[in-house]
Chain A
Amino acid sequence: MASIDIKGVKKVYQGNVTAIHGIDLAIGDGELVVLVGPSGCGKSTLLRMIAGLETITEGTIAIDSAVVNSREPAERDIAMVFQNYALYPHMSVRQNLEYGLKNRGTPRAEIDSRVAEAARMLEIEPFLERKPRQLSGGQRQRVAMGRAIVRQPKAFLFDEPLSNLDAKLRGQMRVEIRRLQHRLKTTSVYVTHDQLEAMTLADRLVVMNGGRIEQVGKPTEVYDRPASLFVAGFIGSPPMNLIPLEALKNIVGSAVLKDLPTETDLIGVRPDRMQTGEGEGFVLTGTVDLIEPVGGESHLYLHVEEIAAPLVMVMPGRPDLSEGAVVPIRLPLDALHPFSTRTGLRTD
């Protein structure tokens, strides 16, 4: 168990391609930090630099207060779970779990007890003598986690570990990873592009884009108060509606919108904060284009005369509306997020 301190880390690949433009991040002892962002945002590169699989062009990474820049992955005392599991195909599950410990010269009795412990924890005892190819995807995933757990490392690094699983299994494993991490209290860095996974797992969320950190914070903070247009669009599904301020002024009059910070020219509203009917806040008149029933809730695609892009609204249950209906849509005042298109940042 340890903290991880990332200071001014940059990654420049051959041919002057900069993958990471200077990142500072302090990960506390026992914390589960999720790096989330679209593909190519540098999240995996950052994780691999922590692991020691990529060299660090500039800056320092310290694990447990010791700078590890020039240490081999094995000397950093971290364990990694890969997207494709990377189990050794010719070794049995038991041998897979033991391999790292054997290489470290761990005594036989200690290896056996740790493997037994991890196998019990992950419920993979029945498969210990099987080869990885005889296991299902979910079971392989467990073995990959087991291989990390037996090492009792200072930190776990997860590189999109659930993206090869089907949706149902992914949900189960997500809960299990969370539970396991709470029990073991091992510092963890988890990379994913799935914002739902990121929201549900993270103690702290790091949203990355284009090799930079866009926002760091608790998942709920990031959701409730996105720091930039990128975060607003990336976190939350369906994504936040962004309405040009000019269009909004044309509908509700400029007087009510005058005390917004200068530079504000875009107003964001979460689909689940919009409501039908009159009341406090701004009321727009929209035509229902499409209703998507998603089970417990429904997504409404609305067209508003003055606004070019369709607005998406989430309503609980199945609203008694038909496509083509004209409805009043209320945007509560406290649900509005002001942004500036020029800087891409939040303005309040």
Chain B
Amino acid sequence: MVENRPFLAVLTHLVLLAGVVIVAFPVYIALVAATHGPTALTSGAMPLLPGGELFANVMQVLTENRRGVAPFWLMAWNSLWMAVIITLGKIAISIISAFAIVYFRFPGRVLAFWLIFITLMLPVEVRIIPTFKVVADLGLLNSYAGLTIPLIASATATFLFRQFFMTIPDELMEAARVDGAGPLKFFRDILLPLSRTNIAALCVILFIYGWMQYLWPLLVTIDPNYYTLMMGVKRMAAVSDADPQWNIIMAAVLLAMLPPILIVVFMQRLFVKGLVETEK
């Protein structure tokens, strides 16, 4: 807009600020809570200014083993594995299916496309009971395979790649054919490098998706060796016969938020760099 009205400028900024406050305040509270000693949060009045116990609380989370909860490092390791396998699996499967759908004329191509499309309407939560049954029958409970495989198929990522592949001019594929590149060579030498920025963007989104999984790991794991961070934080809060140690829980929450933040910060640079250097 080219309008120049000071009142509107002030108003839009106020609305934006209000939005930022609404989003940021809970995070701030978590940060504050993680910096106080064990008694400050149970006294009834929530302190709004940070205290000085952050380091001690974090150390306690990292070192202390508590009842009913797996060690922090193990849970972080499990979460990381789960997020990484889901991210890589989803990208690998969806880029290959998109390649097949866009570049090959095989019988049932349209059917395959629509089947993938329809799964968009069936997220894990909807098909959770049959999926659990299948995973249980395959003996995959309490394993990384059970944690990740059912979450790997991804219609969204397949779509994203399909849309991107369709913007690549056909002549590029034809030029590669004339240049003696077979389908796999074309995929490796031309499609993959061109999809770099899409892959980076998907990595960010899918890693966070995998990291944030709560319901599915809760269902398929009983063995504490396979607990993930999201489950662990919840378990820390659900103590019987005592008040939850909010300062410790919030410190764990802060630690659990770190990897997604790092991923965004790190991948964003690649992502933005890719966007700036448009290569089409």
- Interface set, chain A 140-199, CB cutoff 8 A to B: 147, 151
Number of A-B contacts (CB under 8 A): 64
B169 x A86 contact (CB < 8 A): yes
Q: Does B278 contact A (CB under 8 A)?
A: yes
Q: How far is the CB of A292 from chain B (nearest CB, A)?
A: 38
B181 x A89 contact (CB < 8 A): no
A82 x B171 contact (CB < 8 A): yes
The segment out of B49-57, B125-133, B185-193, B220-228 that lies at the interface is B185-193
Q: Does A88 contact B (CB under 8 A)?
A: yes
> Once the chains are docked, how many angstroms separate the CA of A71 from the CA of B172?
20
Residues of B within 8 A of A100 (CB): 178-180
20 contacts between A and B (CB under 8 A): A51-B174, A52-B177, A52-B178, A53-B177, A53-B178, A79-B178, A80-B178, A83-B171, A88-B175, A89-B280, A90-B190, A90-B279, A99-B181, A99-B189, A100-B180, A103-B185, A104-B180, A131-B279, A147-B179, A151-B179
A82 x B279 contact (CB < 8 A): no
Taken residue by residue from 141 to 154, chain B's Cβ proximity to chain A (1 for < 8 Å, 0 otherwise) reads as 00000000000000
- Interface set, chain A 34-60, CB cutoff 8 A to B: 51-53
Residues of A within 8 A of B193 (CB): 90
Residues of B within 8 A of A104 (CB): 180
Query: Which 6 A-B pairs have CB atoms at the shortest separation, nearest pair first?
Result: A100-B179, A74-B180, A86-B171, A103-B180, A86-B175, A89-B279
Say whether, besides A86-B169, A90-B193, A74 and B178 are in contact (CB < 8 Å).
yes
B279 x A133 contact (CB < 8 A): yes
Residues of A within 8 A of B279 (CB): 89-90, 131, 133
Residues of B within 8 A of A74 (CB): 177-181
B174 x A53 contact (CB < 8 A): yes
> Once the chains are docked, how many angstroms separate the CA of A4 from the CA of B274?
44
> Once the chains are docked, how many angstroms separate the CA of A100 from the CA of B179?
4
Q: Does A111 contact B (CB under 8 A)?
A: no
B172 x A88 contact (CB < 8 A): yes
Q: How far is the CB of A69 from chain B (nearest CB, A)?
A: 16
Q: Does A291 contact B (CB under 8 A)?
A: no
Q: Does B194 contact A (CB under 8 A)?
A: yes
Interface residues of B (CB under 8 A from A): 169, 171-172, 174-181, 185, 189-190, 193-194, 196, 278-280
> Once the chains are docked, how many angstroms separate the CA of A208 from the CA of B80?
64
Report the nearest B residue to A83, measured CB to CB.
B171
> Once the chains are docked, how many angstroms separate the CA of A86 from the CA of B190?
12
> Once the chains are docked, how many angstroms separate the CA of A103 from the CA of B175?
13
Which residue of the partner chain, among B172, B189, B278, contacts A86 with CB atoms under 8 Å? Answer: B172
Report the nearest B residue to A53, measured CB to CB.
B174
Report the nearest A residue to B175, measured CB to CB.
A86
A89 x B185 contact (CB < 8 A): no
Q: Does A78 contact B (CB under 8 A)?
A: yes
Residues of B within 8 A of A151 (CB): 179
B278 x A133 contact (CB < 8 A): yes
> Once the chains are docked, how many angstroms separate the CA of A138 from the CA of B174?
21
Report the nearest B residue to A87, measured CB to CB.
B175
For B171, B190, B194, B280, the residue with the greatest tally of chain A CB atoms inside 10 Å of its CB is B171
Residues of A within 8 A of B280 (CB): 89
A73 x B189 contact (CB < 8 A): no
> Once the chains are docked, how many angstroms separate the CA of A100 from the CA of B181?
8
Say whether, besides A89-B194, A90-B194, A100-B180, A80 and B175 are in contact (CB < 8 Å).
yes
Q: How far is the CB of B178 from chain A (nearest CB, A)?
A: 5
Q: How far is the CB of B136 from chain A (nearest CB, A)?
A: 45
A73 x B278 contact (CB < 8 A): no
Report the nearest A residue to B279, measured CB to CB.
A89
> Once the chains are docked, how many angstroms separate the CA of A103 from the CA of B179?
7
> Once the chains are docked, how many angstroms separate the CA of A174 from the CA of B3?
50
Q: How far is the CB of B90 from chain A (nearest CB, A)?
A: 23
Residues of A within 8 A of B189 (CB): 88, 99
Q: Does A84 contact B (CB under 8 A)?
A: yes
